[in-house]
Amino acid sequence: MSAPRRVLVVGAGGLSSPALRLLATSGVEQITLIDDDSVDESNLQRQTLYTDADVGASKIERAERALRALSSSLSMHAIEGRFLPGNAEQLLAENDLVLEGADNLATKFLVADAARLCGVPAVQAGAVRWAGWALCALPDSACLRCLFEDIPRDRIETCAEAGVVGPVVGVLGGIQAAFVYRLLGGERPGGELWHYDALRGALRRTFVRRRGDCPLCAGEIQDLRMERYTAACAA
């Protein structure tokens, strides 16, 4: 696997905001950002790309503006839309790595599945309230489904519903950016998992092993059927 130079970022929210700020000046050749949401006042405590003046505006438009202000030489492709089974493979074919900062489980599993099927590294994370995790999955390492087998049948609150503390996504987004930096430098941190608990002040690194019964690693998942992703796939 060659060092990734073109990075696809799914979602322009709390996790992606700190990661994008760091990637914009990291030396990546191109950032492709996809999101279909607009800035809400409630976003501002954790989504550091935006200000009061951005409320009501397109996240994609304002994120691109903020990132170009950081680096005028940045090559950026901004897409106002959703990461869906119908466009996932094309988007991944045009990039070397995907950094996922979605706010729902359906999109997280879609990114994991699509990245594995396309042979692209996936840097993923999730957070709610005071804690969260970040995982680097390479084409030959453990994946998200080795950690969480499938989308839970019971409804789980999203971070938008349950809330998430700003510093939590700040730390995890920084870890995601660090994964990208390490991949750029030729490292292979596949299966590396970081847990962060802000209430306890605890940051812990573990390693996820490929599970023999993982449907993605075992090749049981061969396509991206929409019905597999039970929630709306909104970034």
User: Is residue 159 annotated as a catalytic residue, yes or no?
Assistant: yes
Return the closest-CA partner of residue 172 out of 42, 53, 16: 16
Long-range pairs of 112-115 with CB within 8 A, sequence gap ≥ 24? 112/137, 112/143, 112/144, 112/145, 112/216, 113/145, 113/216, 113/221, 113/224, 113/228, 114/85, 114/88, 114/89, 114/224, 115/139
**Catalytic choice (159, 214, 217, 233):** 159
Ranges of beta strands (E only) in the chain are 6-10, 30-35, 76-80, 97-100, 122-128, 131-137, 192-197, 202-207
Which residues are known catalytic residues? 159
